[in-house]
Amino acid sequence: MTDRPLWHNANYRKLFTASAFTNLGDGVSSLALPWLATLLTRDPLLIGAVAMAGRLPWLLLSLPVGVWTDRADRRRLILRADLLRAALSLGLVLLALSPPDAALIWPLALLAFALGCAEVLRDTAAQTLLPALVAPGQLERANGQIWSIEQVMGQFAGPPLAGALIGLGVALPFGLDAASFALSAALIASLALPATPPGSTGRFWPMFRAGLNWLLGHRTILRLALMLGVMNGLYAATATVLVLYAQEVLGLAATGYGLLLMCGAAGGVLGGLGGPGLAAKLGPQRSLTLSLALMALGYLVFLLPASAPLIGLALGTQAFAGLLWNIVTVSYRQRAIPPLLLGRVNAIYRFLGTGTMALGALAGGALVAALDPALPRGTALHAPFALATLGHLALLVAALRSRLQLDP
């Protein structure tokens, strides 16, 4: 593979553009789906159940999907996942057009679960496919560019667009989702790649054990996976109640909530564009330490007197830190893991690092529901953010004490 400029690489351009379309759909649904849930119920536990349903596939499917990714045509897996998400989004359109009824929270959770299943399949296959499209020395830039466009479309453009569309009709955002996933599928279908990676066939359990044994034998990547699991669990706990926090503490409507999320996306864009250079300047160890410190600071801001601009700045800081963490750790994994094991090891890593989001999402809603009778509602809504602050400070101390080393 030649080290030609990324934008001269037609396959990379198509994957980049497809990521833009799918993340626009994800960004729209990130606001529209929980907002629809709040129109059906104000119970934080039920809203947490919907959020958990969307994250649960990472806990249930990550491991088998990793083996499938190493055995199958990765392009075809992405294509089928995008087409499935387009169809499921049309199901959300029908649900949103139905008269509001609390009983609809369960079909909504089921659709969120199905969308999450397709997301696991697509994201695992796409992250595994990227090293086949670009030269090893281009991975940081390619990852940074793709995550930047994901932030621009998924959080900068998607949420405020969803807020505006909800004002016209709550079903409209989900119609846009369906169109964005269909456009992505068309681009993925046009990728020019070999059908199946060489050596990707084999029996399921021996292939899975090979990936697991490799990860267990690589202490650095295993430690990063476990740290990510704590970070993502705490993130999901706060993200679950963020919509209620915005409505009840900050007093925001759908459009204002979308703008709040857009502030977070601005930090993510800066992280995606500036993260590769910053990581090269600081080195991987100091970059990860800075990332943990900034995330702890971002959660701490939620415990200060309510201020929408300040919360927007906190979300931007957290997004910047998250992108910096991802650029360093994902690029490191893509280089360190043998190509024929990449799908399996990545999937096990994400099972440990992302599967906790389902538990965190439910825990965030449950924590608020448990505290609500004894404490003022606003105080209860702050509890997940206090827990996340303490958790990230503990991770920061652990990282400093262990002197986490990432070999070049």
Compute the average pLDDT of residues 62-69.
84
How far, CA to CA in Å, does 202 sit from each of 55, 70, 209, 339, 390? Answer: 29, 9, 12, 15, 44
Residue extents of the structural domains in the chain:
6-194+202-402
pLDDT at residue 142 in the model:
85
User: Tell me: the pLDDT tens digits for 173-193?
Assistant: 999 999 999 999 999 999 887
- The per-residue pLDDT for range 289-318, each reduced to its tens digit, is 999 999 999 999 999 998 999 999 999 999
- Structure pTM? 0.76
Question: With 50 as the cut, is the pLDDT of residue 22 above it?
Answer: yes
Reported as a pLDDT band with limits 50, 70 and 90, residue 199 is very low
pLDDT band of residue 194 (cuts 50, 70, 90) is low
Mean pLDDT rounded to a whole number for the chain: 88
pLDDT, tens digit (0-9, with 9 covering 90-100), for 93-123:
999 999 988 899 999 999 999 999 999 899 8
User: Among residues of the chain, what percentage have pLDDT more than 90?
Assistant: 48
Chain segment 358-393, per-residue pLDDT in tens: 889 889 999 999 998 889 999 999 999 999 999 999
Q: Is the pLDDT of residue 9 over 80?
A: yes
**The pLDDT of residue 161 is above 90:** no
Stretch among 8-17, 62-71, 292-301 having the lowest mean pLDDT: 62-71
pLDDT of 198 over the 50 cut = no
Q: Check pLDDT > 80 for residue 144.
A: no
Report pLDDT digits (tens) over 334-363. 888 888 888 788 888 988 998 898 889 889
CATH of 6-194+202-402, one of 3.40.50.720, 1.20.1250.20, 3.40.50.11740, 1.10.287.610: 1.20.1250.20
Mean pLDDT, rounded, for 49-76: 86
CB 264 within 8 A of CB 317: no
Q: What is the pLDDT, as a whole number, of residue 338?
A: 87
